[in-house]
Amino acid sequence: MNNTIVILDGKGMNPGDLSWDKIKTLGNVKIYDNTPYESIVERAKDAEIVVINKSGFDKDIISKLPKLKFICESATGFDNIDIGFAQEKGIIVSNVRDYSTKSVVQHVFALIFALTNKVEYHSNEVKKGRWANNDYFTFWDFPISEISGKTLGLYGFGKIASEVAKIANSFGMNIIANRKNPAKGYPPYVTHADIDDLLKQSDILSLHAPQTKENLNFINKNTLALMKTNAILINTARGKMINESDLKNALDNQIIKAAGLDVLSSEPPKADNPLLHCSNCIITPHQAWTSVEARKRLLDGVVENISAFLNGTPINTVN
């Protein structure tokens, strides 16, 4: 119980609807909803263990925390941590894996249906009185297309993409995918495609690759020009995979039909983000992972990682 554990940005994982009791049994726990970069050192200076999500742990921060022994990333991605320098300092880093798969997969289809069926739009029109004042028994303002028979393209094919493919197959979609190592194979209902064919053939293109230097601005004016004019782009991966100015231009000029995004290049977005006022672009606030069930799995995973570290057998290490 002498271990000092500091949770620097706990609000995302637990805004108040879950219990911190399990983690409090592991040491002296201090919990902050959110920690600005300039306050990290002051808040974490006595910590042997820190739990972070978006807090930036670069070389400068890590070098000022001599007591730090373990960083637990309360997420799967860990690009906010200087992994190499942490390793130099003998600090173990662990993440939590596969906690959000079901939640993100559900959100992918929520975005798809929001763009194809326009449910909320038509509900709002009904509440305005349009149906009550209509001279026919139904109305719709946009063509509603079935996704059955359409081609779903998946850029990246990890756990989330494979689950998206499984559900898309049940809807009767044709599924093509591109993964970094095609030799890992695919289920029988998924066909590998090179990048150009993925872009050209997809009616719906969903991004599921990790953010890397190679993927930076993967969606740009050149790749958008290869896509169908009726194509829908979905991104629940990382915002910096899209050149947002190029996407804005493509949406405004009907180069592609629509986009559904859960991530942006800067979060929260700046007021001048070019996509914020784009009528054929739906944006949700990086919430695909936030189901109650997913956050509970995440919190349990954090507890498991810290417990394993304290027992001398760290798990889910990334360095």
Backbone region of residue 82 per phi and psi (left: phi > 0; alpha: psi in -120 to 50; beta: other values): beta
DSSP element (H, E) containing 78? none
Q: How far is 196 from 212, CA to CA, in rounded Å?
A: 19
Cα within 13 Å of Cα(246), Cβ side: 15
Q: Is-catalytic flag, 286?
A: yes
Cα within 13 Å of Cα(313), Cβ side: 3
Give backbone dihedrals phi and psi of 192, rounded to 5 degrees, phi first: -75, 145
Give backbone dihedrals phi and psi of 51, rounded to 5 degrees, phi first: -115, 120
CA-derived radius of gyration, the chain: 22
Contact 6, 24 (CB under 8 A): no
Q: How far is 281 from 188, CA to CA, in rounded Å?
A: 33
**Dihedral, 220, 224, 225, 228 alpha carbons, nearest 10:** 180
Catalytic residue among 43, 125, 163, 286: 286
Q: Is-catalytic flag, 192?
A: no
Grouping H, G, I as helix, E, B as strand and the rest as coil, residue 292 is: helix
Contact 164, 189 (CB under 8 A): no
> How many DSSP H helices and E strands does the chain contain?
11, 12
Catalytic residue among 238, 244, 295, 297: 238
Q: Is-catalytic flag, 238?
A: yes
Catalytic residue among 42, 120, 267, 293: 267
Q: What is the set of active-site residues? A: 238, 267, 286
